[in-house]
Chains A and B, each alone.
Chain A
Amino acid sequence: MARRRDRARGAMRSYRSQAAQRSGMHRVRAAWNRLPEPVRRFGPALLVLIVAVLYPYYLSSLPTGNVPLIYSFPSVRSGVTIIVFTMMAVGLNVVVGYCGLLDLGYVAFYAIGAYTAGWLASGQFQQVRFHFGSVGVSHSAQGIHISLWLVLIIAALVTAAGGILIGLPTLRLRGDYLAIVTLGFGEIIPQFVRNADSLHGFDLTHGTFGISPIDSPGFGNAGSHLGLPAAYSQSFSADKLFYWTAVALLLLTIVICIRLRDSRLGRAWIAIREDETAAGAMGIPLMRTKTWAYAIGAFFGGAAGAYIASFNSGAFPSQFSFNISVFLLCMVILGGMGSIWGVVIAGAILSWLNVEGLANIGTWLNDNIFPASHQIEVAKYQFGIYGVIIVLMMMFRPQGLIPEARRKREIEEGTRGSMDEPLYEMRGADEAGAGERGSAGAIPRG
């Protein structure tokens, strides 16, 4: 059965390549292959980077209002949120995509990061006055004010430590049990920050009001002599500064993730994803490797959370719902588990949809397509739309839009990693003689 399918697929492939040879596509590809290797390798990424970095400059010359379908281009301010969420998706990709551990509670890391920034760079703790390299706050201000650059690193490390603490007892579990435990943590931590406004009278998180304002990053007086901004929030072009810093953070995350994937650790993750039992038998320390994946995934989630808390100048418990975990997971699935570029593109698209895209598309549709009597609220159903995306992807393209080559092969060949245990054991269904049983119509066929 499998062999027959393979043969059909092979025939299909050779037919397609013949068709491609005849078309211009083939010539373009041949020209591309003649380019020097570094250009092929870094060219597209560099191009995207330049387009992204220059975005604030050419945004004003782009058309605004009533652009077909998307209505208008995202503002620089929305751009910051889009990029930070993409960064979280890349972090989640380490856990879900590389190591194959389904995490339904990534929002917990986002929350820990945001609140660490809230604790270490705001006036939350009025009882103390501690300043260390802070910018843009008066020296007499109460509370802990640490330079936000340091806070980003501290928040990332604290979150990574949180990831290890959560991971150590739970990573022994496999598959859906792990998913449920992470979901549990993803629900407990937001509820904790919501309720921890009087732990024995001590206000840790300021309850539903959240922690606000949170300091912004900057380079202080020393930096302003070098032409760098002293404090982002006091600059006239605060949004642009936050935007470029976010681009830099995302770039750093992507580079680290690519390097990690190709490292010894990364290969161990992929081995676990493909077949946990075999990986263990080959001498990969399962617990340690999985905990590393969790800690590193958490690290980026924490840094992104701290950064966006600083950008929004606040951390509020209502930001951290289960929906966000699913939303991030949706980015990873849509892009293709384990595929960095896929996740970056899907992350950018989905967070744009979330920030303003869906509302804009709704506005455009209402203005141009639907009559005034039948207006729709697209944004209201955003999570329903994500649900549809998830279900459709799982049914028709489980490898994602831009699949990682290796993951694609795994899905086609069927490996036995923790991700790939079949729901419904069909031992022998692909073996000779399976046809007789199948013809009885009793066995469901995938």
Chain B
Amino acid sequence: MLVFLAWLGYNLQNSPSDFFQIFLIGLTQGSVYALVALGYTLVYGILQLINFAHGDVFALTGLFASTLIVSHFDLNSGDAVTTIILGLGATFLICMTFGAIVNSSIEFLAYKRLRSAPRLAVLITAVGMSFIVQNISLAVFGVNFRSVPPLISSNDVFTIGGVHYGWEALFVVLVTAPVLAVLSWLVKSTRHGKAMRATAQDPEASAMMGINVNRTITFTFALAGALAGIGAVLFLVEFNIRYDTGFELGLIAFTAAVLGGIGNLTGAVLGAIIIGMIQAFNEGPFLWAPGSDWTRSIVFAILIAILVFRPEGLLGERTPEGG
């Protein structure tokens, strides 16, 4: 840890502009991870289930979004700003709905029947569902990477001392921040949110209090799917997406959720931003940075280290499984 901080400090002193540039990249990347990580953490909070299929729902929604943007709305980088904003807005709405429907139908088809089954049976089912969703993406969208034309201008919003802040990065933040605010309001202040928190604490007692536990679980899955939908569109605007993109990204996002303390919403966002930073710094132009070949190894090494030394994560509570 100290070595890592020293390394960061050394890089800060050596090339401050690179450092802040990478910092911003990390923040942007972390925001996308946060949206996916929240899906893991929401579902885990309520069912204690690692929904392996979540990453693949993300990929499926992203591929769906690419079809929407390219074929249906026919958006191009040359279009007027209002057209792009309207088109993207519609894409976001449709993809949220799509992700919500896919995720809650997975719950309906597979997990619902296993409510009283052993926990690991459901976990194994989740792995199976992940493969199924991945193959649905493969069957519908083929093996090739999909991308969309650069819709968001890559020009800078502002530049401070050699640090460029581009519209792309601002776009991600402009979308993510309100979404997180709405989510926080939803969970903290609405009846649905209250039902979710109650079910997470004690499903049986909540059922006795008149909460429809099944509907609450479906709602949680839908919410997670909608968040994955937003994340997928944000990801698609900047990167390519393919049927198996979701698996790796899902694992990284899951690591973020564990890092923050699984089941804890603020923790998931914090963990995602930290993981985004780690990835950005690892791949950045720094001395001794291991490079993108090793990103996955580093992320998983972090995952293992957290689970072994602090299974409750940064902000989570201690659980019996953590021992």
Contacts and interface: CB of A to CB of B under 8 A. Distances in A.
B129 A387 contact: yes
A173 B131 contact: no
Interface in A169-215: 169-170, 172-177, 179-181, 183-185, 187-188, 191-192, 194-195
Contact of A177 (B47, B122, B204, B321): B321
Interface residues of B, number: 58
Interface in A206-233: none
A424 interface: yes
Secondary structure class of chain B's binding surface, majority of residues = helix
Contact of B119 (A173, A175, A427, A429): A175
A166 to B, nearest CB: 9
Given A381-B139, A442-B207, A423 B49 contact: yes
B323 A174 contact: yes
Contact of A442 (B128, B130, B213, B251): B213
A326 B138 contact: no
A414 to B, nearest CB: 8
Query: Interface size for chain A: under 10, 10 to 19, 20 to 34, or 35 or more residues?
Result: 35 or more
Secondary structure class of chain A's binding surface, majority of residues = helix
Contact of B129 (A184, A383, A391, A429): A391
B128 A391 contact: yes
Contact of A188 (B122, B123, B129, B300): B300
B306 to A, nearest CB: 10
B180 interface: no
A440 B297 CA distance: 50
B135 interface: yes
Interface string B187-228: 000000000000000011001101111100000000000000
B33 interface: no
A326 B115 CA distance: 23
Contacts of A395: 110, 113-114, 125
A192 B297 contact: yes
A390 B247 contact: no
Contact of A381 (B138, B293, B300): B138
Contact of B308 (A104, A181, A427): A181
Contacts of A170: 304, 307-308
B74 to A, nearest CB: 30
Contact of A423 (B115, B214, B311): B115
B176 to A, nearest CB: 26
A427 to B, nearest CB: 7
Interface of B: 47-50, 110, 112-125, 127-132, 134-136, 138-139, 203-204, 207-208, 210-214, 247, 251, 254, 258, 293-294, 296-297, 300-301, 303-304, 307-308, 311, 320-323
